[in-house]
């Protein structure tokens, strides 16, 4: 599984490629080559969608990590409470 920073870099690369495709489409359109520019714009939209999918997968991964961390903290807290109660009973 990719790290968060790798995922962000991948998403940024897709964004950059999408931007390049839009620029190329605009240049082609200015030259009167509309069908080619439409193809480039469709390509840019697809790259943008892929970028969003990568970001969404990263967010899902982060959510799962947060849930795991919360569970671990809950277990630590419970263990500390149990230990505290044991110590109080032993002293009492």
Q: What is the DSSP string of 19-67?
A: HHHHHHHHHHHHTT-HHHHHHHHHHHHHHHHHHHHHHHHHHHHHHHHHH
Looking at the 3D structure of the chain, how many domains does it have? 1
Residue 43 has a pLDDT of 84
Q: Give the pTM.
A: 0.56
Domain extent for 71: 4-91
- pLDDT band for position 55 (cuts 50, 70, 90): confident
Query: 83 or 43: which carries more pLDDT confidence?
Result: 83
- pLDDT band for position 1 (cuts 50, 70, 90): low
Residue 33 has a pLDDT of 61
């Amino acid at each position: 599984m990719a790290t968060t920073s790798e995922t962000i870099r991948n998403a940024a690369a897709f964004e950059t490629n999408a931007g390049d495709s839009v620029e190329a489409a605009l240049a082609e359109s200015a030259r009167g080559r509309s069908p080619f520019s439409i193809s480039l714009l469709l390509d840019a939209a697809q790259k943008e969608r892929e970028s969003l999918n990568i970001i969404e997968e990263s967010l899902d991964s982060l959510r799962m990590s947060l849930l795991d961390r919360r569970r671990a903290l809950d277990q630590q807290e419970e263990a500390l409470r149990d230990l505290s109660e044991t110590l109080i009973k032993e002293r009492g």
